[in-house]
C-alpha cells in the first residue's frame, strides 16, 4: 500500500494559553532544551545533566533521598511504577479514595494481586484521619496510599496525621503529588513520605514527565520491597545497579 507522505505536515499547533490543571504552558527555557541534539545515555554530558536534574528534583521534593529520579512516562506511569515496586500478590494495601486518582490506585493494586482495603471519603472532601485510624486498627498493611491534591475534585489532603498513623501501623506512606508538586508544599522528609511520584505537566510547567522520589531507601525494610517487581520496564533495580546508588522501592517519572 502506498502512503502519500506529503500529506503529513511538520507539526505546528500554533500557540495556546493552557488554563486547565495540566498540561500547563511550558517555559521557553524548557522548550529550548527539548530542541537540543540527542546524545547517548553514557555520554558524560548526559550524566552531568542527569545529576543536576536529580539535585533540582531533591530540592523541589524537599528530600535528601538519593533515589530521586526522572523517568520517561506520564503521571499514571509514575503511579504504576511506584506500586509495582512495592506490591506483591497477597500484600494488604490501604488506599484512601476521594476521587478519580485514588480510584486508579485501587485498580493498579488489584492488577498486582494486592489485597485492597479502601478508606472512602465523599468526593469533594478530604479523608479524615479517624477513618484511616479505624481501618488500620488490627491490620498490618504493607503500605497506605493517598492523593495529595485530588485533581478531579480540587481537594487538598493534609498529610502529616495520615503519615503518623501509617508509620504507627508499621506501613509505608505513599503519596501522589502529580498536581501538588511545584504548586504546594511537598516536604518529603519532614512529613515522612516513603515513596512519591509526580508529573511535570502541571505546576512544573514542563511537558508530561513524571518525577519520583522514594524516601531514603536505606529506611525501607527489605521485607517492604517487591522482591521481583511484576514489570521489568518499571522496576527501579536497573537504575540502582547502573548508578550503584541504592536498592530500594521505586516510583517513576518522565524526563
- Does position 147 interact with ligand PLP (CB under 6 A)? The reply is yes
Backbone angles phi, psi at 253, to 5 degrees: -155, 175
CA atoms within 13 A on the CB side of 123: 8
Cell of 26: 511550558
Q: How far is CA 119 from CA 10, 104, 166, in A?
A: 48, 14, 13
| From candidates 54, 179, 213, 250, binder to ligand PLP by CB under 6 A | 179
CB nearer to ligand PLP: pick between 75 and 182: 75
Binding mask 48-87 for ligand PLP (x = CB under 6 A): --------------------------xxx--x--------
Instruction: Return the DSSP state at 191.
Output: H
Q: Nearest 5°: CA angle at 215, between 23 and 34?
A: 35
Contact assessment for residue 166 and residue 173, using Cβ atoms and an 8 Å cutoff: yes
- Does position 234 interact with ligand PLP (CB under 6 A)? The reply is no
Binding mask 194-233 for ligand PLP (x = CB under 6 A): -----x--------x-------------------------
CB nearer to ligand PLP: pick between 66 and 210: 210
Which residues contribute to the site for ligand PLP (CB under 6 A)?
Answer: 22, 74-76, 79, 101, 147, 151, 176, 178-179, 199, 208
Amino acid at each position: 500500500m502506498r502512503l502519500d507522505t506529503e500529506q503529513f505536515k511538520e507539526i505546528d499547533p500554533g500557540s495556546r494559553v493552557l488554563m486547565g490543571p495540566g498540561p500547563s504552558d511550558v517555559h521557553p527555557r524548557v522548550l529550548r532544551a527539548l530542541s537540543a541534539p540527542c546524545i547517548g545515555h553514557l555520554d558524560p554530558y548526559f550524566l552531568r545533566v542527569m545529576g543536576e536534574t536529580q539535585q533540582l528534583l531533591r530540592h523541589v521534593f524537599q528530600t535528601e533521598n538519593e533515589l530521586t529520579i526522572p523517568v520517561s512516562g506520564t503521571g499514571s506511569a509514575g503511579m504504576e511504577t511506584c506500586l509495582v515496586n512495592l506490591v506483591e500478590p497477597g500484600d494488604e494495601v490501604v488506599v484512601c479514595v476521594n476521587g478519580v486518582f485514588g480510584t486508579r490506585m485501587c485498580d493498579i493494586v488489584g492488577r498486582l494481586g494486592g489485597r485492597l482495603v479502601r478508606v472512602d471519603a465523599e468526593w469533594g472532601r478530604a479523608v479524615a484521619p479517624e477513618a484511616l485510624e479505624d481501618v488500620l486498627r488490627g491490620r498490618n498493611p504493607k503500605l497506605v496510599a493517598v492523593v495529595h491534591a485530588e485533581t478531579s475534585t480540587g481537594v487538598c489532603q493534609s498529610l502529616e496525621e495520615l503519615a503518623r498513623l501509617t508509620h504507627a501501623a508499621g506501613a509505608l506512606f505513599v503519596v501522589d503529588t502529580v498536581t501538588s508538586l511545584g504548586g504546594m508544599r511537598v516536604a518529603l522528609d519532614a512529613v515522612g513520605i516513603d515513596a512519591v511520584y509526580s508529573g511535570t505537566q502541571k505546576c512544573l510547567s514542563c511537558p508530561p514527565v513524571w518525577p519520583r522520589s522514594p524516601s531514603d531507601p536505606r529506611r525501607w525494610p527489605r521485607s517492604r520491597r517487591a522482591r521481583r517487581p511484576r514489570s521489568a520496564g518499571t522496576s527501579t533495580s536497573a537504575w540502582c545497579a547502573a548508578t550503584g546508588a541504592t536498592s530500594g522501592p521505586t516510583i517513576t517519572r518522565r524526563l
